[in-house]
């Protein structure tokens, strides 16, 4: 399934490397440790942006349906209420096997799509609500804190359009709500960070930073780690570098990677940004 995120605006990104505002890494780990005390590991948190759009709007639709969806102006077609509640499902997590998860109803999924809308989506109050109908429960590939997983998702046809809208269908008890931290509750989607495991005890974190180099426009980064039984927090810091007087440097970000050495294997622990507490998707 090829799905494009409905919106990026409003999804927080992880802290810029070197930023000092917000909670300390120790506070981040302590908050997440408390949240995960009674949660089966690995914690299952969806990091794919939701809801998602499947297909392309026609020229005739002129962006109207898109703005209505972005603003949360959606209603259910009659067949949504008639759709029976689904049974629990078993999903397969990388490296850990099967897990039984509850699934929300089609009506609850439409409500979640509506709740995800933003009043600041240029709708100006005159967008006609779109009708979501023809619900189908599918297993869709998604990014999660446990790695790539096929999870239950409801898809709906937008009435009068070829576009379908997808919404993750995990019941609240099957996932985790991030803890409150200084600066607010960290987002779970929209991050420009990712990570991959290297060997048994190293994690390579990729992010958007300054270009590599030793000159006045170059940026060097280091990673530090704070660990607990359930959480690993990686903090990326920028090493000091001298900016040359009168040198014009590009403001275009570059994909950068730093490697963090852990005291032991990541295993089933949750990987988060030590500056903001936002979860980091492990891609392997």
Q: Please tell me which of 91-100, 179-188, 227-236 the model is most confident about, judged by mean pLDDT.
A: 227-236
Q: How many CB atoms lie within 10 A of CB 253?
A: 13
Distance set, CA 231 to CA 40, 63, 82, 226, 255 (Å): 13, 42, 42, 8, 25
Q: Which two tokens stand for residue 235?
A: 């903090």
Q: ∠80-86-88 over CA atoms, to 5°?
A: 155
What confidence category does residue 122 fall into, taking pLDDT thresholds of 50, 70 and 90?
Answer: low
Distance CA 53, CA 166 (A): 6
DSSP codes joined into one string, 30-45 = HHHHHHTTTSPSSP--
**Least confident piece of the model among 17-26, 127-136, 193-202:** 17-26
In the predicted model, is pLDDT for residue 6 greater than 50? Answer: no
What confidence category does residue 243 fall into, taking pLDDT thresholds of 50, 70 and 90?
Answer: low
More confident site: 126 or 182: 182
Q: Which two tokens stand for residue 213?
A: 């180099």
170: left (phi over 0), alpha (psi -120 to 50) or beta: beta
pLDDT computed for residue 8 by the predictor: 27
Distance CA 232, CA 263 (A): 10
Helices (H) and strands (E) in the chain, counts: 4, 15
Q: Which two tokens stand for residue 59?
A: 């020229």
Distance CA 71, CA 129 (A): 9
More confident site: 54 or 62: 54
Average pLDDT over residues 137-158: 94
DSSP one-letter code for 69: H
Helix/strand/coil for 193: coil
CB-based contact 279:187 (threshold 8 Å): no
Q: ∠185-191-152 over CA atoms, to 5°?
A: 85
Distance CA 154, CA 65 (A): 19
What confidence category does residue 207 fall into, taking pLDDT thresholds of 50, 70 and 90?
Answer: very high
In the predicted model, is pLDDT for residue 11 greater than 50? Answer: no
């Amino acid at each position: 399934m090829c799905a494009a995120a409905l919106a990026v605006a409003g999804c927080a990104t992880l802290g810029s490397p070197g930023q000092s505002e917000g909670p300390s890494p120790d506070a981040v780990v302590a908050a997440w440790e408390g949240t995960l005390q009674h949660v089966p590991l690995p914690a299952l948190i969806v990091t794919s942006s939701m809801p998602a759009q499947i297909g392309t709007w026609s020229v005739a639709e002129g962006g109207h349906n898109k703005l209505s969806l972005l603003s949360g102006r959606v209603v259910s077609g009659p067949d949504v209420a008639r759709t029976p509640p689904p049974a629990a499902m078993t999903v397969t997590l990388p490296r850990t096997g099967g897990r039984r998860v509850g699934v929300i109803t089609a009506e609850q999924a439409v409500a979640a799509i509506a709740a995800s809308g933003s009043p600041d989506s240029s709708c100006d109050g005159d967008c006609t609500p779109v009708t979501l109908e023809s619900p189908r429960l599918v297993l869709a590939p998604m990014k999660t804190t446990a790695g790539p997983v096929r999870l239950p998702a409801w898809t709906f046809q937008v009435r009068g359009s070829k576009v379908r809208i997808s919404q993750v269908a995990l019941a609240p008890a099957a996932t985790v709500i991030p803890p409150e931290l200084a600066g607010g509750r960290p987002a779970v989607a929209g991050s420009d960070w990712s990570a991959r495991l290297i060997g048994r005890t190293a994690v390579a974190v990729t992010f958007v930073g300054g270009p590599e180099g030793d000159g006045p426009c170059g940026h060097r980064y280091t990673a530090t780690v704070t660990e607990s039984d359930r959480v690993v927090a990686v903090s990326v810091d920028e090493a000091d570098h001298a900016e040359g007087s009168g040198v014009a440097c590009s403001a275009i970000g570059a994909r950068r990677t730093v490697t963090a050495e852990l005291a032991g294997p990541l295993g089933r622990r949750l990987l988060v940004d030590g500056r903001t507490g936002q979860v980091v998707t492990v891609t392997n």
